Structure 1
Amino acid sequence: MLTLNDVTWLDVFLVCVGVYLAKQVFTKKNPAPYPPGPAGWPLIDNILDMPRIKPCLTFAQWGEKHGDVMHVQVLGQHIIVLNSVKTAMEMLDKKSAVYSDRPVFPMGGELVGFKDALPFLSYGDRFRRYRKNLHRAIGNRAAVDEYKQIEESETRRFLKRVLAKPDQLQEHVRHTAGAIILRISYGYQVKENNDPFIDLANRAMDGISQATTPGAFMVDILPLLAYVPAWFPGAGFRRMAREWREILEEMVSAPYKLVKDQMAAGIAPMSFTSNLLEGRDVSAEEDHIVKWSAFSLYGGGADTTVSAIYSLFLAMTTFPDLQKKAQAEIDAVVGPDRLPSFADRDSLPYTEALVKEVLRWNVVSPTGFPHRVTEDDVHDGYYIPKGSMVLSNIWFMLNDQRTYAKPSQFNPERFLANDGKEPEIDPRTICFGFGRRICPGLHLADASIWISAAMSLAVFDISKIVENGVEITPEFEPSLGSTSHPKPFKCSIKPRSATALGLIQQDAN
């Protein structure tokens, strides 16, 4: 990985001088001041201010001094940081026509190749065609209802895996999330163990998280470094990009080819991909769009689901009294003789609130995915120049005491109407992003998280482990990356009763 230590300060200085001189020649007078922010330095702007680790925390600290809309500049690139739900909705939702583009990502987008996936796609015709495909399949709860049987049957298999090997919880969560999305996307039924597509997908998603972490690669700050040969000293990032690109290309192409081969043989199961291809002679452009739409469906739902479900088990380990409340509700509504289903969802308000609090507690995408401004704008008296990158500090929005009472506490009841108090803001209106770039897989992810929570709590007691006579409380320490996952932790997972054991051992449909 090429870091600041691998680039001489003379290199940086010369680039900064060039940028500074260009600014002096070509900069026009602004119609309004930039939003406030760290002052920066002559020539180098805010390059030394930009955080490389957990930027959401630094942005929150800046917000205490500078407010909800902040501005920094790095080598001529304007960066706008939004620190409140109100400003995000005013700019990214209400002005979505000019705030919906994506910046160029030299590492993750260009070198690794994720630029063709929906989250990275520039706003335009191809973007709209991807979204149209995805909206038909998972764009609302009614569409997602078509996949309830898949969700429920794969979650039953998840319970069996956890029962057999509870110490491999994280692996089971990933396996199940992948199994659901692969069945929906490609009609592919995963193998119980060592499935090649599950392994491939996990490596691809890990690559995208690492490659898109803000500040992790110097090439994202100095794009010219993309032309450095892979053999050059300090160019390890080029070799990493090549490795991740190979994984990505196989993940995008292999399951897609499988569907086309099955369709040619007349044996293809119904799926998102087969529905788009059925009875059509697709052009090369349409073939590209269908292939990458299917991959984007996987990417839009799997990683969010994995992070949230693993976080649920961590929360239940840490807060056993809240687990008992949810179990009491499920016992009263569902009873001991069957597993919960989606038909029970409206009758389980505490379980619903618990899922919401998990999404607020561990923010899956702490700084969201950057937007890019396509036209000059003046917002609330501040100048937002064309080409600005806009970051939403979603972590802070979900931990803002102006929005959530005692945000550091894990408290599902904040989302229930109690003692005349209105429920607090549903985190699902925040954590999946804003405007026309909102996550297209949000309804599918929400359904997967809920059914996993309801079924798991119905049959399992989740508790702290005891080592050498000492009860171990796991630490909540999210991983680094553009997607946040709790670090691996240990917990005890046991059937609640002999009846619960029988429900787990029932065959999945």
Structure 2
Amino acid sequence: MLTLTNITWLDLCLAGVAVYLVKQGLNKNPAPYPPGPRGLPLIGNIQDMPRIKPWLTFTEWGKKYGPISHVEILGQHIIVLNSVKSAMDMLDKKGTVYSDRPVLPMGGELCGWKHSLGLLPYGDHFRQYRKNIHHIMGNRAALDVYHPVEEIETHRFLKRVFAKPEKLQDHVRHTAGAIILRISHGYEVKEKNDPFIDLADRAMDQFSRATAPGAFMVDIMPLLAKVPEWFPGVGFKRLAREWHQTLEEMVDAPYKFVQDQMDVGIAPKSFTSNLLEGRTLSVEEDHMVKWSAASLYSGGADTTVSAIYSIFLAMTLFPHVQKKAQAEIDAVVGTDRLPSFADRDSLPYIEALVKEVLRWNVVGPTAIPHRVTEDDIHDGYYIPKGSLVIPNIWFMLNDPQTFADPSQFNPERFLDNDGKDPEPEPRTICFGFGRRICPGLHLADASVWISTVMSLAVFDISKVVENGVEITPEVDPTSGTVSHPKPFKCSIKPRSAKAAALIQQDANY
């Protein structure tokens, strides 16, 4: 007797057979697919798709098959790009065709992230979200109004690190959340155990895990979403239910805070209050404002954390870089005050150092896949409608033909040296491509810059010595849509008594 469960698994098998038979009977493509590993009958390349650090496997594909490679899993075509040129030619120059997002059964549908800007389908809602965000941070000049907030919160970060350097990672997360919540919702975080910071941390960790390529079989076999939660092997559904609840809280709680503040006339200016001021919103407009703000808040609360934490890792591992950076700060800014954004144009080595942080620690190694909305022929290869396109950003920023000794942290690669041109600008790569480029890139860049220059002005960062043994941190980034350095130990001490006094000054400018 067939049960509902039997039918579900039977459906899966029949679907695989149907895809294979249709492919075999109707495979009259106008051009060949890009090269890639040979798949198996019925299941295609399901065994080839990596789940841990997929960018490393994609890099090997690039070496073997060239800048554009292809796999197919149960009829789903996946295109991997291993060169900047291919990414620009397809995702940027053909943006009308390559700017959609895939339907992600785990992260998008089951967990609920389909309403966020990152996973929103290409269309009118997507354009409105980006318009809302672009209005306040579309370029560096637009961010000038937020510089005091970033400087104040970064000074508070220095105080926290000075008091408890062993809690560095917590301090980085707290500060990144504090800055973005002030901008997105006008909310000033609590010094300890802030509920909105905790929500953002949990939600973004879950997002990264839920959307990582190949992490969940349901993304490869969407019919698994219909299997009951109690059935063996579908524990992902319990996870999805928990993660969906976290996301709802993260989106709703800060939004309600702004509404409540506006009701009593005490709401500070923010991204959300500006969009709500003097308007009576329809249900659809309310949804768009709430999720635009949540997209800004969630995106800014995690990506900069990875980059800023990497600053401390790099300074621990490459002390000669730290000394050069501090020498420039001392020469330009002096030691009687903290650096500010007003000093940025006068600190070329710090600027190069920030570029190198973004290149060396790739925050989004494979980005979020793009989806093709029409059949395309590119470089003689057939890219069918519905294909997922994954740019291997990690390799693009670690390609030895583009960046000399890419594993080395070397800011000087971005400076003019003895008439030699600087290496390519990493910020045109690390934030994504085309119409899906990160809309908060200028805010992220500013946050990394101010954290770098203020921290190096007052702190010496070095390896920890335990029981007479110097501990060298391991460079081992985590898997996920957003990648973080593996937690590490380092010594953080004030550079001098004068530096300690600067740290402890009042942080209210």
Question: What TM-score do you get using the length of structure 2 for normalisation?
Answer: 0.97
The residue aligned with 2:433 is: 434
The aligned residue for residue 242 of structure 2 is 243
Aligned partner of 2:18 in structure 1 is 18
Q: 1:49 to 1:10 in 2, by over 3 A?
A: farther
Label 1:320 to 1:350 Cα distance change in 2 as closer, same or farther (>3 A): same
**SS state at 2:95 partner:** coil
Are 1:73 and 2:72 counterparts?
Answer: yes
Deviations 1:414-454 (A, max 9, x none): 00011101111111110100000001111000000000000
Q: Deviations over 1:310-332 (max 9, x none)?
A: 00000001111110000000000
> Is it true that 1:486 corresponds to 2:488 in the alignment?
no
Structure 1 consecutive aligned stretches of length 4 or more whose deviation exceeds 3 Å = 8-15
- Write the letter of the residue equivalent to 1:21: L
1:37 aligns with 2:11: no
1:394 is aligned to 393
Write the letter of the residue equivalent to 2:200.
A
The 2-side partners of 1:138 and 1:355 are apart by 19
1:145, distance to aligned residue in structure 2 (A): 1.4
1:500 aligns to what? Answer: 499
Q: Which residue of 2 aligns with 1:324?
A: 323
Structure 1 window deviating more from structure 2 (75-84 vs 212-221): it is 212-221
Distance 1:447 1:132 in 2: 20
Distance 2:69 2:214 in 1: 18
Which whole-Å CA distance do the structure 2 matches of 1:439 and 1:476 have between them? 25
Structure 1 residue runs without a partner (length 5+): 1-7
Q: Distance in 1 between matches of 2:135 and 2:112?
A: 26
Counterpart of 1:165, as a letter, is K
Kindly state the Cα deviation for residue 42 of structure 1 after the two structures are TM-superposed: 2.2
Measured after TM superposition, the shift of residue 155 of structure 1 is 0.1
Task: Give the distance between the partners of 1:210 and 1:312, measured in 2 at CA.
Answer: 23
Q: Deviations over 1:160-189 (max 9, x none)?
A: 000000000000000000000000000000
Taking only aligned residues, the RMSD between alpha carbons, in angstroms, comes to 1.3
Q: Deviations over 1:13-69 (max 9, x none)?
A: 5442121123345x3521111111112122221111111111111111111111001
Q: Whole-Å Cα distance in 1 between the matches of residues 126 and 356 of structure 2?
A: 32
Residue of structure 2 in register with 1:48 after alignment: 47
Aligned 8 A contact 1:13 1:44 in 2: no
Does the alignment pair 1:460 with 2:469?
A: no
Trace 1:353-372 onto structure 2 (pairs within 5 A): 353-372=352-371
TM-superposed deviation, 1:480: 1.7
Q: Secondary structure at the match of 2:225?
A: helix
CA distance in 2, matches of 1:41, 1:286: 47
Deviations 1:467-502 (A, max 9, x none): 110111111111121111011100110000011011
State the one-letter code of the partner of 2:22. A
| 2: CA distance, partners of 1:339 / 1:321 | 22
Match of 2:4 in 1: none
Deviates more, 1:41-50 or 1:61-70: 41-50
Asked if the contact 2:12/2:223 (under 8 Å) is kept, the reply is no
User: How many residue pairs align between the two structures?
Assistant: 501
Please name the residue that 2:469 is paired with: 470
Give me the whole-angstrom Cα distance separating, in 2, the residues matched to 1:426 and 1:336. Answer: 31
**Given residue 55 of structure 2, which amino acid in structure 1 is its aligned partner?**
C
The answer for the alignment partner of 2:349 in structure 1 is 350
Please, which moves more after superposition, 153-162 or 56-65? Answer: 56-65
Which blocks of at least 5 consecutive residues in structure 2 are unaligned?
Answer: 1-7
2:3 is aligned to: none
Distance 1:20 1:28, change over 3 A: closer
- The amino acid across from 1:360 in the alignment is R
Secondary structure of the corresponding residue to residue 282 of structure 1: coil
Q: Give 3-state SS (helix, strand or coil) of 2:269's partner.
A: coil
State the alpha-carbon separation in 1 of the partners of residues 375 and 479 from structure 2: 33
1:182 is matched with 181
1:292-331 alignment, distance < 5 Å: 292-331=291-330
After superposition, what is the alpha-carbon deviation per residue over 1:56-87, rounded to whole angstroms, capped at 9, x for unaligned?
Answer: 11111111111001111110001110000011
TM-score normalised to structure 1 length: 0.97
Q: Which SS does the other structure have where 2:197 is aligned?
A: helix
Identity, in percent, stands at 77
Which residue of structure 2 aligns with residue 257 of structure 1? 256
Instruction: Tell me the equivalent position of 1:165.
Output: 164
Partners of 2:251 and 2:291 within 8 A in 1: yes
Letter aligned with residue 20 of structure 1: Y
**Structure 1 CA distance, aligned partners of 2:181 and 2:23?**
49
